[in-house]
Amino acid sequence: ALEIINKCLLISPHSSQFKLRKVEYLLYSKRNDEADQMLQQILQNDPNNSEANYLKALRIYQSDVMPAVNFLKTILRDDPDHTRARELYKKARDIAGRESEARCLLDNGNFAKAHEIFSLAIEIDPDHVLMRQDFYNLMGRASVGLKNFQRATEEFTKSLEINSNQIDVLQQRAECYMNMKDYLMAIEDFSRVCSMCPRMTNCATRIKDAEKLLTSEKRDDYQILAINRNATVDDLKKAYKYKAMVHHPDKHSNNTPQMRRMHEKEFKKINSAYQKLLRILKLS
């Protein structure tokens, strides 16, 4: 699409319609710097261009929802019939309202309701990358409050998949692994925190704690899979799928030889524990 628009601009270089269309394509392609530069030029020449201001609001929205709500209000005040601005305003307002409510609930210890509302907020715009990064982190915190450490690690992981340099999220996930007695994964996360921020002496202490527990604590099959003794076959299968994915050797092919061997060993324990417990549960 950008290639076609660029050809159109060669034929008609002063067409504001083509320029605005290019800005929109650049925004959806995450080429924000180029989009910002073009928008600035358009608005310098025509500061009241409602379509250009809508695209500016869209750019703001992609970075931070609340300021976009306020900016969209001004657009709609001047052009109340701008359909796309009204649709974006409604979406941004809904997200901002849910976020405000959920953060308040989280701060007040109502973790279950906060988690539910953050989940609903993500569904409003699942393509909003920065919002997903932030909300998955907050959902993880709510899950920690509910002592659902496995779900918390999954949510922190989703946040880290968007931005792997979030030190606080790495720390929180490491502590979840400690609570799950998955000391090997805790060591990995604490080690990453130490490498990213060497001055954080606490993480070095936590690595030593995890290493000591890893070598000294004997775990039964239920503890290896982090399930309780009343678990069903479905619970077992879900726990096995999660644990096997976390420690699968292919996932750690770029790790140090020592860590690869440790994960391979843990992976074998997980498979062995799963087979034993599956036989027990099917007979019960």
Question: At what angle are helices 149-162 and 167-179 packed, to 10 degrees?
Answer: 160
**Domain limits of the chain?**
1-94, 226-283
Instruction: Could you list the beta-strand ranges (E) of 129-279.
Output: none
Question: What is the average pLDDT across 265-270?
Answer: 91
Q: Could you give the CA distance from residue 6 to residue 38 in angstroms, rounded to a whole number?
A: 13
Q: Which residue has the higher pLDDT, 27 or 79?
A: 79
Are 203 and 193 spatial neighbours (Cβ–Cβ below 8 Å)?
yes
- CATH architecture of structural domain 1-94: Alpha Horseshoe (1.25)
Alpha carbon 234 to chain centroid distance? 26
Position 1 scores a pLDDT of 66
Q: Over the chain, what is the mean pLDDT?
A: 91
Q: HSE-up of 24 (CA within 13 Å, CB side)?
A: 14
Query: pLDDT tens digits for 30-68?
Result: 888 888 888 888 888 889 888 999 999 999 999 999 999
Q: Which residue has the higher pLDDT, 42 or 237?
A: 237
Question: What is the average pLDDT across 137-154?
Answer: 97
Query: pLDDT tens digits for 171-225?
Result: 999 999 999 999 999 999 999 999 999 888 788 999 999 999 887 777 889 988 9
**pTM greater than 0.85 (yes/no):** no
Q: Could you give the CA distance from residue 111 to residue 102 in angstroms, rounded to a whole number?
A: 9
Position 192 scores a pLDDT of 94
Closest to 175 measured CA to CA, from 195, 152, 198, 158: 152
Q: Could you give the CA distance from residue 148 to residue 172 in angstroms, rounded to a whole number?
A: 13
Question: What is the average pLDDT across 236-240?
Answer: 94
Structure tokens at 147: 């002592």
Closest to 227 measured CA to CA, from 240, 216, 213, 215: 240
Determine whether 196 is exposed, middle or buried from the number of CB atoms within 10 Å of its CB (0-12, 13-18, 19+). Answer: middle
- The DSSP element (H or E) to which 223 belongs, if any, is helix 221-224
Query: pLDDT tens digits for 212-226?
Result: 988 777 788 998 898
Question: What is the average pLDDT across 116-136?
Answer: 96
**pLDDT band at residue 262 under the 50/70/90 scheme:** confident
Q: Is pLDDT at 8 greater than 80 in this prediction?
A: no
Q: Is pLDDT at 155 greater than 90 in this prediction?
A: yes
Task: Tally Cβ neighbours within 10 Å of residue 230.
Answer: 7
Are 110 and 120 spatial neighbours (Cβ–Cβ below 8 Å)?
no
Are 133 and 113 spatial neighbours (Cβ–Cβ below 8 Å)?
no
CATH topology of domain 226-283: Helix Hairpins (1.10.287)
Task: Tally Cβ neighbours within 10 Å of residue 30.
Answer: 10
Q: Is pLDDT at 118 greater than 80 in this prediction?
A: yes
Q: Could you give the CA distance from residue 98 to residue 118 in angstroms, rounded to a whole number?
A: 7
Q: Could you give the CA distance from residue 97 to residue 111 in angstroms, rounded to a whole number?
A: 17
Closest to 242 measured CA to CA, from 267, 217, 264: 267
DSSP labels for 39-80?
HHHHHHH-TT-HHHHHHHHHHHHHH-HHHHHHHHHHHHHH-T
Q: What percent of the chain has pLDDT over 90?
A: 64
Are 236 and 281 spatial neighbours (Cβ–Cβ below 8 Å)?
yes
Residues in CB range of 238: below 8 A, 6 or more apart:
none
